[in-house]
Amino acid sequence: MPKPEFVVNGKFYEQGLAEARDSRLSILLTQETIDNEDIWINYESEETELKVAVTEAVVDHLLAECINILRNIE
């Protein structure tokens, strides 16, 4: 049996149900965003990952350069 607020003139009010669903979804998403805000604004791990990636790229480049120099010496 549908809730009385979704029945208008004896007919099921589908738009009312959809609006209620959208409203509840909005509330849930807002709460989820608030609960996880600290994860979204914590850039420390991302910064560390980027520094490691840049360091690896520089080391790879330097190693390749050293190998080329040593090959030219022979």
The tokens for 62 are: 């330097």
Domain boundaries, the chain: 1-41, 43-74
Whole-number Å distance between alpha carbons of 26 and 73: 68
Rg (CA), the chain: 30
Kindly report the pTM of this predicted structure.
0.46
Q: How confident is the model at residue 18 (pLDDT cuts 50, 70, 90)?
A: confident
- The reported pLDDT for the residue numbered 20 is 79
SS3 category, 13: coil
Average pLDDT, the chain: 85
Q: Is the pLDDT of residue 49 over 90?
A: yes
CA–CA distance, 32 with 28 (Å, rounded to integer):
6
d(CA 55, CA 60): 9
